[in-house]
Amino acid sequence: MVVFNLHIRSATEKDEETVYNMICDLEDKELDRESFNNAFHSNLSQERIRYVIAELDGEPVGMGSCHTQLLLHHVCVVAEIQEMYVVPRYRSKEIGKALVEKLIDFAKSKNALQIEVTSNNVRENAHRFYEKEGFRKSHVKLVMYF
């Protein structure tokens, strides 16, 4: 089901509360607000990072972010989707697909030669979504927490 009155736009400082709530829901925890605000505003000011908001009839229903960087081991610019969230009642309506397409457009505008996404092992529905959108499992991510 395609949502025809969907609008994807770049996030602004005014989206701070919306993005905060979506990321807290995504992570299933309340994040430190001051740290979040500092990161959000710092990232908004960087040309290599883009946050996008999906709106349906003017209501925010999803968001995504993409970071680009020049990596030595690829000898090119690589993009990575860092966060992606769609309000649960709006999932399976191609909103995520529209967000990914907008982030791919951003990555290409930065001359990225590939786009990556990392998703927690427990998010099997997200893995199926990304594979459906053309992503392939090709790496293992290992994490060390401090």
The tokens describing 104, both together, are: 């791919």
Q: How far is CA 88 from the centre of its chain?
A: 15
Domain ranges of the chain: 6-132
Over residues 67-118, the pLDDT tens digits come to 999 999 989 999 999 999 999 999 999 999 999 999 999 999 999 999 999 9
- The confidence score (pLDDT) of residue 109 equals 97
What average pLDDT score do residues 16-27 get?
97
6-132: what fold?
A: Aminopeptidase (3.40.630)
- d(C-alpha 111, C-alpha 117), whole Å: 17
Least confident range from 4-8, 37-41, 83-87: namely 4-8
Over residues 112-129, the pLDDT tens digits come to 999 999 988 899 999 999
Q: How far is CA 37 from CA 8, 11, 84, 115, 144, in A?
A: 22, 14, 18, 26, 24
pLDDT tier for residue 139 given thresholds of 50, 70 and 90: confident
Q: How many CB atoms lie within 10 A of CB 91?
A: 15
The mean predicted confidence, pLDDT, of the chain is 94
- The confidence score (pLDDT) of residue 4 equals 67
- The confidence score (pLDDT) of residue 1 equals 55
Global pTM reads 0.91
